[in-house]
Amino acid sequence: MARLGRQGRGERVFGAVAGSPVVRRIVRTVPVTLIALGAAFNVMTPPSFTGSPFFSAAPLVAAPLFTLRWTVLTGVLATLAVILLQVYSGTTWKAEALTELATVLTVSGLAALINIVVRRGTEQLASVRGIAEAAQRAVLPSPAERIAGLHVSASYEAAEADAFIGGDLYAVQDTPYGVRLAVGDVRGKGLGAVEAVAVVLGAFREAAESEPTLEGVAQRLERALAREGTRRDALDAVEGFTTCVLGEIPPGAGVLRLVNRGHPEPLLLYADGGLVELVPVDPALPLGMGDLGGWPDRAQEWEFPAGATLLLYTDGLTEARDGAGIFYDPAARLRGRVFPGPDELLSALGSDVRHHTGGGATDDMALLAVARPGEGQPERRRTVPVVPRGDGA
């Protein structure tokens, strides 16, 4: 299951309040209430005073909240109220009364125009959002909930409201060599980052099917980014890079292999609440920085017992800060906790991060959880890699 989007605490509170039936009923009465207040003001004050501000405000308030028909009807009611009050006070043909009537008529016409513009803008925004969602599904499709017997869940939360995809990425794929996965973070923002995401994911999907080793997959991604860098301007060609963790879970082996290219260390959560940070023995440079060094990729192998869950994430998680500037520590927050499955893990993690930050975020956050179904009692865990593998291709 994949979840996308971001909603801060203020947005959640506002949404809950605005969506309340009581609030909706109150909002619907505002234009009529303004007309009633204008009428009462005119009746209770001397003729030199006018309630035209109330009558003019009524259609303006209705314009963004109601349909065009109800906006026009509000303007008509406000105009009729002005005319009836002028007849009642005997000021129908005085200059002040004519000015008041012209003001209300003009504002009512502008309110109708505002309503049309707002409705068209809303329709265009809905269309843009639909296109963005379609693009997100094409570039970053949701993984299946079950892949080769593993339980999978993914989440993407953009730092910018209404954004659907940025520079973070994840992928899970069943291959002849087992389930292979990737989580990464492309340097930069905007469309350039999205293009790089598409390059990395496209190269990963192809390499995961054909490369016999995880090291070979990493080298294919390196070459793909190098080719992409030559097509960009000089700055991106020199400074562009992608941090990434590549994983492989062979069928039925109870192990997982990881190649970490400068990315935050994944976490392995056990069925008894234990937790291990999968720190690479030989740190490597991010993808796209191969020209700076010739260190070979080395996949490390870890036990992956039944009931355990592998959690991969981008630095949007670890760089989330509270009001005092304290960074979020997922290992400390998750250690000792037990979750029924990966969906519940990511849901609880997302809620905890929002609580930590007060609803705000400064960077995109991609999360991927892969769990092995439990088989009896939880197995004891090791806190070091089982076997560091040899040099890759």
DSSP per-residue string spanning 255-311: EEEEEEES-PPPEEE-TTS-EEE---SS--PPBT-GGG--PPP--EEEE--TT-EEE
Q: How far apart are CA 322 and CA 184, in angstroms?
A: 24
Helices (H), the chain: 9-18, 21-44, 52-65, 68-89, 95-139, 190-210, 214-230, 234-239, 315-318, 330-334, 342-357
Q: How confident is the model at residue 375 (pLDDT cuts 50, 70, 90)?
A: low
| pLDDT tens digits for range 109-136 | 888 898 888 888 777 766 655 555 555 5
Contacts of 30 (CB under 8 A, 6+ apart): 61, 65
Tell whether the model's pLDDT for residue 350 goes beyond 80: yes
Reported as a pLDDT band with limits 50, 70 and 90, residue 267 is very high
Q: Check residue 177 and give its pLDDT.
A: 94
Mean pLDDT along residues 263-279 = 94
Given a contact cutoff of 8 angstroms between Cβ atoms, the answer to whether 227 and 250 are in contact is no
Position 246 pLDDT exceeds 60: yes
| DSSP secondary structure code for residue 378 in this structure | P
Residue 189's CB: how many other CB atoms inside 10 A? 14
How far is residue 246's CA from residue 170's CA, in Å, rounded to a whole number?
10
- Reported as a single tens digit per residue, the pLDDT across 130-169 is 555 555 555 677 888 999 999 999 988 876 555 556 678 8
pLDDT at 28: 76
- The confidence score (pLDDT) of residue 165 equals 60
- Residue (of 153, 196, 160, 392) closest to 287 by Cα position: 196
Q: Are 164 and 158 in contact (CB under 8 A)?
A: yes
Rounded to 5°, the CA angle 223-2-348 comes to 115
pLDDT digits (tens, 9 = 90+) for 68-82: 888 899 989 988 988
In the chain, % of residues over pLDDT 70: 76
Structure tokens at 260: 């970490």
pLDDT of residue 216: 93
Q: Report the range of poorest mean pLDDT among 15-19, 202-206, 213-217, 351-355.
A: 15-19
Cα separation, 389 vs 259, whole angstroms: 10
- Where does the pLDDT of residue 2 fall: very low under 50, low under 70, confident under 90, or very high at 90 and above? low
Interacting residues of 164 by C-beta distance below 8 A, sequence separation 6+:
4, 5, 129, 132, 133, 135, 136, 158
Secondary structure (DSSP) of 135-165: HHHHHSPPPPSEETTEEEEEEEE-SSTT---
3-state secondary structure at position 11: helix
The predicted pLDDT at position 223 comes to 87
Mean pLDDT of 247-268: 93
Per-chain mean pLDDT for the chain: 80
Higher pLDDT, 291 or 40: 40
- Tens digits of per-residue pLDDT, 303-343? 999 999 999 999 889 988 888 889 999 999 999 999 999 99
Residue 12 has pLDDT above 50, yes or no: no
305, 254 in Cβ contact below 8 A?
yes
Question: Which pLDDT value is given to residue 238?
Answer: 39
Q: Give the pLDDT of residue 24.
A: 65
Provide the pLDDT confidence category of residue 6 given band limits of 50, 70 and 90.
Answer: very low
pLDDT band at 9 (very low <50, low <70, confident <90, very high): very low
| Greater pLDDT, 14 or 201 | 201
Of 171-175, 230-234, 290-294, minimum mean pLDDT range: 230-234
53: Cα separation from own chain's centroid:
42
Residue 38 — very low, low, confident or very high, per pLDDT cuts 50/70/90? Answer: confident
Q: For the chain, what is the radius of gyration of the CA atoms?
A: 30
Q: How much is the pLDDT for 139?
A: 62
Q: Which residues pair with 310 in a beta bridge?
A: 268, 370
Report how far apart, in Å, the C-alpha atoms of 97 and of each of 46, 85, 86, 108 are.
13, 10, 7, 17
As a whole number, mean pLDDT of residues 266-271 equals 96
* Residue of 355, 249, 282 lying closest to 9 (CA atoms): 355
- Antiparallel, parallel or unpaired: β 242-249 and 255-261: antiparallel
Q: Is 272 left (phi over 0), alpha (psi -120 to 50) or beta?
A: alpha
Of 131, 176, 171, nearest in space to 154 by CA = 171
Mean pLDDT within 377-382: 41
Question: In a 10 Å sphere around its CB, with 0-12 CB exposed, 13-18 middle and 19+ buried, how is residue 180 labelled?
Answer: buried
What local confidence, expressed as pLDDT, does residue 130 receive? Answer: 57
**Structure tokens that stand for 386 in this block:** 């089982």
Burial 342-374 (b: 16+ CB within 10 A, else e): bbebbbebbebbbebbebebebbbbbbbbbbee
More reliable by pLDDT, 311 or 354: 311
Q: What is the pLDDT of residues 191-236, one digit of tens each?
A: 667 778 888 898 999 999 999 999 999 999 988 888 876 665 543 4
pLDDT for 137: 59
- Which of 232 and 49 is assigned the larger pLDDT? 49
